[in-house]
Amino acid sequence: MNKVCGLSRRGFLQSAGVTALMAAAPMAAFAQSGPKRGGTLAIGIEGASTGDSLDPRSFNSPYWGVVSGTIFNTLVEIYGPSNELRPGLAKSWEESEGGKRWTFDLVEGATFHDGRPVTSADVIYSIMFHDAEDSRSNSRAIAASVAEAKAESPTRVVFDLKEANYFFPAMLSNYPLCIIPEGTTTFDGIGSGPYKITRFSPGEMIEAVRHEGYFKTDAAWVDQVVILAANDPAARASAFQSGQLHIASMLESRTAALLGQLPGKQVHSYQTSQFAGFNLRADSAPFDNADLRMALKLAIDREDILARVYGGLGRIGNDTPIPPNDPLFAADIPQNSYDPEKAAEYFKKSGFTGTLTLQTSEAASAAAVDMAALFREHAAKAGITIDVVREPADGYWSNVWGQTAFHSTLWGARPTADMILTTAYTSGSPGNDTHWSNADFDAAVTAARAEPDEAKRRAYYTEAQRILSSDGGVIVPVFGDVVEGLSVEVQGYVTGTQPLANYRAAEQVWFA
């Protein structure tokens, strides 16, 4: 049985919840030492299953975001809490023709794990294969926006877009859009990233060692990285408590304070656009009925969920993926608030009778499971009966998510509002897990990304949020703060707006 830092995977998954937590004196601040090489870094995060593949078109969870940031590179990267755009495999980029043409110059000396140089041909292949006919990539809409991609030289690539898009470089930071060798059809994890895979056990773990040819000379300090598929939040917290994990992400807020009081542990929370919510498949009965969708939006008590599930660590959602702390948040559109009487009116108007089955799973976070139970209580006061079915984590993303009528969803943060609106809710996007389609919404998003004037762009995004909030097929009750735990020996960590330092913690940190 394989062991990670002294802990077998079986032992990890069977661990009880956090035990014997004693209130200790608050931990003192520890000074940061300079970077040095050495050691094995163990990371625990959720979002893996036994059906997983190393095909980037299938990357759709926090776990795979971390894998992408550890094994691969994107052209552009996001850094820090302000979502600063930084070079990845592209050292620079520029726009022309009013945002319709983007030219990227690649870094010199970048190589894949097998020694081949990274070229423009690899970049073009890696982006455009997301738009292949059989692709279910959640980045397909981004790739499909490209009218033509051409290599002007081995280190210069030009993308001509169908429509102007001033957010295109930021979109290319999306973790599934990682660069792989041209012509790859057997996906074995060959990338250009800081670590190369030595072992891949789907639904269990990935082990990797430093890529000695990595083009960033000021990164990849540890010798080895283990990314553990830690879907059980209680086991994840227990492994962090016992020292088996150096970094544990997406911890439960209810245990965060206690974990942070343990010697040698640091726990912090940060605001993000990540959310757990509920999908109503709008392309088929019964949720093709807008009145039924609105009934459910008014039948959930968001304040109660914020208090009881997230311990107050979060912000109320309004059934769009844009949180109140986002600069483009539409604060002036009507808030969908708990109103059992009004929900009952919409429910009666919909003509639906009977029980609604809500499928949920810890694969979509422990918060999603708790939220579903509370939703059932809230909806009952409006005369709406919900039967909650708890599905196993394994296979949830392939068999339930985006497939069934009413189910829990989990979306990780994206660096721009446009990216999540485009990926998750525009018509025809494979990432559109509600199967909702609205031409006016699509038009507003398209116009926004092509608009150079900031005020006009904001107006378009406000209109898009208004349409989605009132008509869309997603319920976003709360944006819960993400809680992460780090051992104090882990240094160099810079929090981002996405888990694990915008998924690139492995190349960033070192051991004291």
CATH code of residue 233 = 3.40.190.10
Output Rg (C-alpha) for the chain, integer angstroms.
Answer: 22
Tell me, yes or no, whether 327 lies in a domain: yes
| DSSP 8-state secondary structure symbol assigned to residue 400 | T
Whether 284 and 359 map to the same domain: the answer is: yes
Examine residue 391 and state whether it is found in any structural domain, yes or no.
Answer: yes
Q: How far is CA 425 from the centre of its chain?
A: 15
CATH number of the CATH domain containing 311? 3.10.105.10
Q: Binning pLDDT at 50, 70 and 90, where does residue 126 land? A: very high
Which residues pair with residue 247 across a beta bridge? 43, 486
Confidence at 234, pLDDT banded by 50, 70, 90: confident
Q: What angle do CA 480, 26, 250 make, to 5 degrees?
A: 25
The answer to the question of residue 56 being in a domain is: yes
Q: Are β-strands 205-210 and 7-8 bridged in parallel, bridged antiparallel, or unpaired?
A: unpaired
Number of domains the chain is built from = 3
Strand extents, DSSP E, 275-328: 275-280, 314-316
Q: Are 420 and 318 found together in one domain?
A: yes
pLDDT at residue 416, rounded to an integer: 87
205 and 240 both lie in a single domain: yes
Residue where one domain finishes, among candidates 141, 171, 201: 171
Q: Percentage of residues in the chain with pLDDT exceeding 90?
A: 78
Examine the domain organization and report whether 248 and 372 are in the same domain. Answer: no
Mean pLDDT throughout 52-74?
A: 95
Is residue 462 in some structural domain? yes
Q: Is the pLDDT of residue 419 over 50?
A: yes
Mean pLDDT lowest for which of 156-160, 212-216, 266-270, 403-407?
266-270
Residue 287 contacts residue 405 (beta carbons within 8 Å): yes
Q: Give the 3-state secondary structure of residue 373.
A: helix
Q: Is the pLDDT of residue 13 over 60?
A: no
**Residue 264 sits in the same domain as residue 300:** no
Helix (H, G, I), strand (E, B) or coil at 170: helix
373 by Cβ neighbours in 10 Å (0-12 / 13-18 / 19+) ranks as middle
User: Which residues in 387-411 are b (16+ Cβ under 10 Å) and which e?
Assistant: ebeebebbbbbbebbbeebbbbbbb
Q: What is the mean pLDDT of the chain?
A: 91
**Measured distance CA(494)–CA(366) in Å, rounded:** 26
Q: What is the CATH number of the domain that holds 142?
A: 3.90.76.10
Angle separating helix axes 290-297 and 340-350, nearest 10 degrees: 160
* Tokens representing residue 230 in the block: 């830690």
| Same domain flag for 268 and 280 | no
∠ CA 475-476-477, nearest 5°, is 105
Position 124 pLDDT exceeds 90: yes
Indicate whether 33 belongs to any domain.
no
Same-domain pairing of 318 and 357? yes
Q: Would you state the pLDDT for residue 6?
A: 41
Verify that 376 and 467 share a domain, yes or no: yes
Q: Give residue 322's pLDDT.
A: 97
State the pLDDT at residue 138.
87
Pairing mode of beta strands 275-280, 406-411: antiparallel
Same domain, 397 and 327: yes
pLDDT at residue 504 above 90?
A: yes
Structure-model confidence comparison of residues 475 and 138, the more confident one? 475
Asked if 198 and 100 touch (Cβ cutoff 8 Å), the reply is no
Give the model's confidence band at 32: pLDDT under 50 very low, under 70 low, under 90 confident, else very high. low
Closest CA to 369 of 343, 340, 339, 392: 392
Out of 117, 139, 171, a domain closes at 171
Q: Please give the single-letter amino acid code of residue 259.
A: L
The residue among 62 and 253 whose pLDDT is bigger is: 62
**363/405 same-domain check:** yes
Coil/strand/helix, residue 417: helix
2/10 Cα distance (integer angstroms): 9
Q: Is residue 99 scored above 70 in pLDDT?
A: yes
> Backbone phi, then psi, for 132, in 5-degree steps?
-65, 155
- Residue 163 in this model has a pLDDT that exceeds 80: yes
Residue 424 in domain = yes
Q: Are residues 487 and 447 in the same domain?
A: no
Same domain, 83 and 203: no
Domain limits for position 64: 38-72+193-272+482-511
Bridge partners for 314 per DSSP: 480
Whether the per-residue pLDDT at 158 is higher than 90: the answer is yes
Residue 201 within a domain: yes
Distance CA 360, CA 319 (A): 18
Residue 136 inside a domain? The answer is yes
pLDDT band at 49 (very low <50, low <70, confident <90, very high): confident
Which band of pLDDT confidence, cut at 50, 70 and 90, is reported for residue 4?
A: very low
Helix-strand-coil split of the chain, %, nearest 5: 30, 25, 50
